Structure 1
């Protein structure tokens, strides 16, 4: 009983001796468990086809809740006591993997490869074409890319944009030039309709010039001037510049032709959503909601109340501003989503994908309508508002997203019928461009913030190119 009394004294337990004995037994049991030999197993989780490490994968001991998560380099470590055991490896978008670890391999580095989930591919067919990694420097991530007359212009970075560089690659992926010192905080690249590429920073934009041996930044422009012009500039043809001006809260696009010889602006074509304009006409109060509601409006309202404005009045003003903001956000994102009707130059014609009228319009450079093709692909629920043009082949593609998988369909502009699906190899891709029969896209490694890579994939061609797709 002496041990019991000591235990009670030191832990201030107001318990009966029998309870103290129970605690002693628990302590002895715990000590025995801790005395069991433990072993560290380690491994790497990766994506099988590309052999890229997968961060954020869950590695669990089957039949228990004990496990860990793979790090940025795909590695993991687990402390275990008994062999054999089964590891269950899971990751969003990938098939679950079960792996048995025996004592004979407990000291090896376990290489656990995952395949993309079949559920992600339901309803689509993947071609046998694999994605080719373009930029292979593992210390950098691709922020943006654009096609250059000499190849490919990349904006790359590391350390959370603290160090950004421009890299020009040839068509054979050889490095032609690098510009390591960039002004401002890197944001993106912009390719205009005059085939010029611009480096866009937070406050300024610069045209990129390649001298044949080096890259230079010229013509700095305030971002407040650059962005609206760059956004509106749609096409160029024989001294004529075409601009798309958004009006009526994004429900009207007025295309304007600027004749640089006559120095005159002429209305080229107007595209509008008559249904949404009708809703706007029947609800005049929406005009006020869709207008910019700024914080200084609230500050001005409080100013009018005077310095002695009551707390109740201030709360009422704050609530009113919040209600207006919520309703305005709903109207802009659900009811009055901006219409998508891009304009392209094709030979001696201008083409407008007039989705509100469900037709592709063929116009002269001066705006006369020559022909129109009916379309319905844009009515499908999986359609993504994106038309891509292969400038070298003068071919067009439209995009669908199904279960996080992007599919590109060649679009016959003469019939308006999309062709067979080209399913991109990776899910949840980012920027997509098409050139000379290849699709280029960026893909961020799962679980990684700073690891975005650039790939290209061969697009299907040949017979049946314009066959109707089931997707």
Structure 2
């Protein structure tokens, strides 16, 4: 394990050497009301495909100091104004870019709206010609993975908030069955297929797909959970082992360290006991496999017996969320929420119990974070309905729950206080549509 970690860190150092070799670039500017000519404060400014975001100050100014790349896409949005997307292209000799962004006032025409005892979900997008298998957010638009008959032939579609299809691209059939859209720590959306992985790049509202080496992606990209400044946070999680570590890695000075260990101790005992249930000849074989592969004999035995595919084994689930400059690890085996600073130093811990509902079957080892507001929700399922409980990421307490209206909601994401999901009515000929609901918590 240590050799694997050292290898990973070496590759990380190579992969992120741009952070040291390339110059930084300053992107700054001012946001102005196009009609009045006055500055606008508190405008959200986000860099697409990254974790960078800021707000304009009282004078309408904003600035970013970023690693230099050739192209940036900036999204400007605030209440009362139309969203604006600005594309920035930089030459090699440029070290700054100044922008003056003019926003138009949003004029709302309010139609008669029916009032219901319970608000109805909004249909974001749907078509009678194809189903939506998965989705992701892109700027103020939606990226949809769609199919007609099977996931072996899929299409990526970019649609706007007014249900207009902007562009589309076919996912290469050579990649095999499409599984999901996966957003990596850099903010890129990737199409994960059975036989291939494709990075999605959108320029000037055109979709391009670039094939990535699947083995490298799974080894070097997927383990990285998030970033904070120059720091990366990754794990050596394996679904087939009841223990894993979280690691901190600094891209500037290449320092790294494990800072948290997650272990299901009762499950680990069962895992290790698999060796002692083997017959003498099988124990000998387990030891030989262990020696050949430089692994523990107990691990070899569990592999031989298929223990991790049995009804007695459940993969670990203890997610890490970066909120602000603090790391939050929800350790469901120590029944604690741990807080760490951005260097992986432990700050404190608080007890948690939301993962032990009265009916233990309701808990589905599923949590989501609001992509913009940072709130954390635990997901439960009862009689086919999904329930969301807001968990305070500071004290670990439940702050209310919400029942998703549609039955069997799938691919759940949360953004701006709304739940987004894919759904098709039970026993209906309707294709799968994309919906959203406003979260109204009840005690």
TM range (shorter): 0.5 to 0.7
Aligned partner of 2:378 among 398, 416, 422: 398
**Unaligned 5+ runs, structure 2:** 1-115, 290-300
| Corresponding residue of 2:135 | 145
| Corresponding residue of 1:440 | 420
Structure with bigger gyration radius? 1
| Corresponding residue of 1:198 | 190
| Corresponding residue of 1:314 | none
Offset of 1:177 from its aligned partner? 2.5
**Alpha-carbon distance in 1 for matches of 2:385, 2:276:** 40
Aligned partner of 2:200 among 186, 189, 208: 208
Offset of 1:162 from its aligned partner? 5.5
The answer to whether the Cα contact below 8 Å between 1:398 and 1:410 also exists between their aligned partners in 2 is: yes
In 2 relative to 1, CA 235–282 (structure 1 residues): closer, same or farther, beyond 3 Å?
Answer: same
The answer to whether the Cα contact below 8 Å between 2:271 and 2:307 also exists between their aligned partners in 1 is: no
The answer to whether the Cα contact below 8 Å between 2:185 and 2:224 also exists between their aligned partners in 1 is: yes
Q: How does 1:156-305 map to 2 (within 5 A)?
A: 156-161=146-151, 163-180=153-170, 182-184=172-174, 185=176, 186-218=178-210, 220-246=211-237, 249-281=240-272, 284-285=275-276
**Alpha-carbon distance in 2 for matches of 1:369, 1:287:** 41
**Alpha-carbon distance in 1 for matches of 2:395, 2:311:** 31
| Corresponding residue of 1:338 | 315
Report Cα offsets for 1:95-125 as digits up to 9, x if no partner.
xxxxxxxxxxxxxxxxxxxxxxxxxxxxxxx
Name the count of aligned residue pairs: 306
**Alpha-carbon distance in 2 for matches of 1:336, 1:351:** 26
Offset of 1:405 from its aligned partner? 0.9
**Alpha-carbon distance in 1 for matches of 2:119, 2:334:** 36
Offset of 1:257 from its aligned partner? 2.0
**Unaligned 5+ runs, structure 1:** 1-125, 298-323
Q: Secondary structure at the match of 1:226?
A: helix
In 2 relative to 1, CA 457–388 (structure 1 residues): closer, same or farther, beyond 3 Å?
Answer: same
| Corresponding residue of 1:431 | 411
Using structure 1 for the length normalisation, give the TM-score. Answer: 0.59
The answer to whether the Cα contact below 8 Å between 1:202 and 1:223 also exists between their aligned partners in 2 is: no
Report Cα offsets for 1:400-439 as digits up to 9, x if no partner.
1111111111111223222332111122222111111111
Offset of 1:391 from its aligned partner? 1.8
The answer to whether the Cα contact below 8 Å between 2:242 and 2:315 also exists between their aligned partners in 1 is: yes
The answer to whether the Cα contact below 8 Å between 2:131 and 2:147 also exists between their aligned partners in 1 is: yes
In 2 relative to 1, CA 269–449 (structure 1 residues): closer, same or farther, beyond 3 Å?
Answer: farther
**Alpha-carbon distance in 1 for matches of 2:344, 2:278:** 31
Over the aligned positions, Cα root-mean-square deviation in angstroms equals 3.2
Does residue 370 in structure 1 map to residue 347 in structure 2? Answer: yes
**Alpha-carbon distance in 2 for matches of 1:246, 1:287:** 27
**Alpha-carbon distance in 1 for matches of 2:326, 2:395:** 17
Using structure 2 for the length normalisation, give the TM-score. Answer: 0.62
Does residue 459 in structure 1 map to residue 439 in structure 2? Answer: yes
Offset of 1:350 from its aligned partner? 0.9
Offset of 1:334 from its aligned partner? 3.1
More helix by share: 1
**Alpha-carbon distance in 2 for matches of 1:180, 1:161:** 12
Offset of 1:191 from its aligned partner? 0.6
| Corresponding residue of 2:65 | none
